[in-house]
Structure 1
Amino acid sequence: MMPEATLVIRRGSPGETPRDEAFTVEFQPGASVLDVLRMLRVERDPTLTFRYACLNANACKECMMVVNGKVTYACTARVMEGTTTLEPLPNKELVRDLVTQIAPPDERF
């Protein structure tokens, strides 16, 4: 039996009651949270919403989220065997699922 990893993802939109949804995948040592999120969106749930822009690795700040209770980048956080919890950034306006408003509307170009 292959080792497994489960991502428990906080889902929802503004005005909805947030819900946690679990996705179990084959554990791949070294896979980033972003790698698994991208795979899940392509292979299992095209409605899964998260942000990333890997033009300048580790500098873009687009994939920032809460991973196992700590604010970090999904591109550098590694999925571990067992359960990994993912939540949107706290104290930011929720757009949907793991996407929050990073900059206030009057600061966007």
Structure 2
Amino acid sequence: MRAALLIQRGGPGEAPREDRFELDFEPGESVLDGLRRLRVSADATLAFRYACLNANACKECMMLLDGRVIYACTARLEAREMRLAPLPNKPLLRDLATVIAPPDERL
């Protein structure tokens, strides 16, 4: 199976752009699996967050998929175009990475 990920790229103060990546995947693979593979094989500068220390508790990989908030670790890749964007109500770090925790909760 093959997915096309349309990923919003850029940093604070930059005009956002969209990069298209196509990747093969096996049924059941997560969006996070695809992003990690893309960073290794296609673009080492692709920025996104994840921790995977405690399943369904970390909230680090939250982003928009086709305009809806998802966890990239639980959303599944599909054989179609999938548009990924950073959370709109959080400060942007770069690409899909945003500041998740409020300042008083960060160490």
Question: Which bracket does the TM-score occupy, shorter chain normalised?
Answer: over 0.9
Matches within 5 A, 1:26-105: 26-105=24-103
Segments ≥4 residues shifted beyond 2 Å? 103-107
Question: Following the alignment from structure 2 to structure 1, what is the Cα–Cα distance between the partners of residues 91 and 51?
Answer: 20
Runs (5+) with no aligned partner, structure 1: none
Deviations 1:42-90 (A, max 9, x none): 1110000000001111111000000121101000000110111100001
| Number of equivalenced pairs | 107
Equivalent-residue separation in structure 2 for 1:29 and 1:102 (angstroms): 29
TM-score normalised by the chain length of structure 2: 0.94
| Paired letter, 1:20 | E
Percent identity of the aligned residues? 64
> Unmatched 5+ residue regions in structure 2?
none
CA contact (8 A) 2:25 2:34 kept: no
Query: Could you tell me how far apart the structure 2 residues matched to 1:68 and 1:30 are?
Result: 19
TM-score, length basis structure 1: 0.92
